[in-house]
Structure 1
């Protein structure tokens, strides 16, 4: 059975924890003011999944970010809202996890999403920093 048949990422997810976001933003070369503002935000993820095609919107009071991709197909991603860099990204399935590798100016950059019960987990990686976020699905 394929992963997309067993896991449905679609829905609206509210953040409930955010560990080492500052370290991750430092690795992205974000300035102090940007980091301070970003730490005060409570992002919400809105995910639309249709088979292997995804649109993930990150919504905050300050700025929104949208990323659309198809599993296994490389795409050019501009990480507006984070560090505004362009990178070549590809998302693949690893069991029931979505794994994104972002090739660009920063080393070891990417993210992994997975679901456990009614929680969405996100690990953001850049260089030697890992940020761990947890979201809860809205009813």
Structure 2
């Protein structure tokens, strides 16, 4: 079984976040604000259900899912997409594939050197 991702994680840097937001069609004004925010992520596991809470002083977002079960998701407050999401383990990475309004979307979380990594 992969290592636990549970815990509280603080963002220490981001790479190409603006490019990602441009690809999602996020306005220049919102991108400017978002790039200045420091994100905190809390990952919890309750049985076979995961809860990921992402928070900043500007917006909060919570997602709850079971690994291997597709679910409907509305990315409200992020880029406001309606998608079907499926989260699975790929080695030591928790990977989400999203299908819907925009192609090739999703994310991956993994731990490396005691740091939580997120790739969108």
Ranges of 4+ aligned residues in structure 1 off by more than 6 Å: none
1:67-87 Cα deviation digits (max 9, x unpaired): 000000000111112111110
Cα shift at 1:52: 3.2
Cα shift at 1:117: 3.0
Asked if 1:112 is matched to 2:114, the reply is no
TM-score by length of 1: 0.83
* 1:12 alignment partner, one of 4, 8, 21: 8
In structure 1, the partner of 2:99 is: 103
**Matches of 2:57 and 2:105, distance apart in 1:** 25
In structure 1, the partner of 2:83 is: 87
What is the alpha-carbon root mean square deviation over aligned residues? 1.0
**Matches of 1:116 and 1:19, distance apart in 2:** 16
**Aligned length, in residue pairs:** 120
TM-score by length of 2: 0.96
5+ long unaligned stretches in structure 2: none
